[in-house]
Structure 1
Amino acid sequence: MDLPFLLRATLRLPQSFSRSSGPGGQNVNKLSTKAHLRLCLSPPPPWLPSYLLPTLLDSPSYVSTTPPGLLLSSSNTRSQAQNVELGIKRMKDLILEAARVGLKGDTSEEQQERVKALERKERSKMLKVKKQRKDVKGGRRAFKAGFE
């Protein structure tokens, strides 16, 4: 399922519309095509992980302070529905970008070598213990064979 559809269907984002500015002629002057979308973060929606809140609230260009939340507007097209879709897509991109902020990159070569060395050391230690157990059990067998 597409995330913009999920956002619109499950969140029921409050939407408002106003007259757009810029080129567009009579369409811009008569119709309210500019879409404003609000995602309230107080209380945060249940689907939004709590670790994303500080990152989302640190993006000053989209933050509304009363009540705390994200406020996005879109007036790129002459169609109200397309502007809503673009706003939802921008909201999705903003949330995904906030989720990527804390992620670490690939493991360094040095770290990979260290892990491999530790794995080799652990394997040799395990083989040594197994050999000792084998020798103990083998010694018992040799001892039993002498009594029969």
Structure 2
Amino acid sequence: MSLLFRLRSSGSSSRTPLLSATTRAFADWRHDIASKWSSQEEIEEARHWVETFKVDDIPKKHIVITYSASSGPGGQNVNKLSTKATLHLSLKTASEFLPGFVVKKVRENSRHLTKDDEIVLQADESRKQSENMQAAFHRLHQILVSSVAADVPGVTSAEQKQRVAQLQKQEAQQRRKLKSIQKDKKQSRRSRGDDY
């Protein structure tokens, strides 16, 4: 269930219940993300991996690259040369150079996976084989990083924590104020019986 759907389905138009719904939905989302990891150390390791993993860290010996004729405009160049690069990375061999959580997250989050448990990418934007090969490697890097980063919760800054604490305090004050208004309203209804 998405955060936006949860907010819209909270069903209240006043600000306080919406803030409560926002707080609950955010807490549910954080719990869902955190429950995808076995420990806080694994989250920290994944966060570090996302920040430090570069395109050059992908070993070319684990990648199978084939070249074929590109499609689209280009005249004789398209007909004569094989410039389209197709990259194949088997996740079985990728486990030799990628941490286990990366392979797991790629299997969970990537839409580029085939039935044979491999990532297949094509690049044919350029008229040069080398540029298409580099583009395919950059896409592979992006897929690997985004698969892990999708489940890594962000680091909360001190300002954000302070802002959340302030909003929670305001919410509690507003709730107490509404409760006292309700209390006064009920007491005024009870005291009418004495006037007769």
Q: Tell me the TM-score normalized by structure 2.
A: 0.49
With over 3 angstroms needed to count, the CA separation of the structure-2 counterparts of 1:104 and 1:83, relative to structure 1, is: same
Contact 1:37 1:71 in 2 (8 A): yes
Q: In 1, Cα distance between the equivalents of 2:55 and 2:140?
A: 9
Find the aligned partners of 1:6 and 1:90 in 2 and give their Cα distance.
14
CA contact (8 A) 1:16 1:36 kept: yes
Query: Could you say which structure has the higher helix fraction?
Result: 2
| CA deviations over 1:95-135 (Å, ceiling 9, x no partner) | 1111211211243527986xxxxxxxxxxxxxxxxxxxxxx
**CA offset digits 1:17-68 (Å, max 9, x no partner):** 11110011111111110001111102543221222224323422x21222x1
- Counterpart of 1:133 in structure 2 is none
- Tell me if 1:109 matches 2:161: yes
The equivalent position to 1:28 in structure 2, one of 71, 78, 90, is 78
2:56 paired residue number: 5
- Aligned equivalents of 1:14, 1:43: Cα separation in 2: 11
Give the Cα–Cα distance (whole angstroms) in 1 for the partners of residues 56 and 132 of structure 2.
14
Structure 1 residues 115-134: aligned runs within 5 Å: none
- Per-residue CA deviations over 1:72-97 (Å, capped at 9, x if unaligned) read 11001000110000000110111111
TM-score, normalized by length of structure 1? 0.63
For the pair shown, the structure with the greater C-alpha radius of gyration is 1
Cα RMSD of the aligned pairs, angstroms, is 2.4
Residue 95 of structure 2 is matched in structure 1 by 45
The alignment covers a number of residue pairs equal to 109
Equivalent residue, structure 1, for 2:137: 88
Which runs of 5 or more structure 1 residues have no equivalent in the other structure?
Answer: 114-148
Report the equivalent of 1:70.
Answer: 119
Other structure's SS at 1:78 match: coil
Is 1:59 aligned to residue 110 of structure 2?
yes
Unaligned runs of 5+ in 2: 1-52, 166-196
Task: Please say if 1:99 is aligned against 2:148.
Answer: yes
Identity %: 28
2:35 match: none
Structure 2 counterpart of 1:93, one-letter code: Q
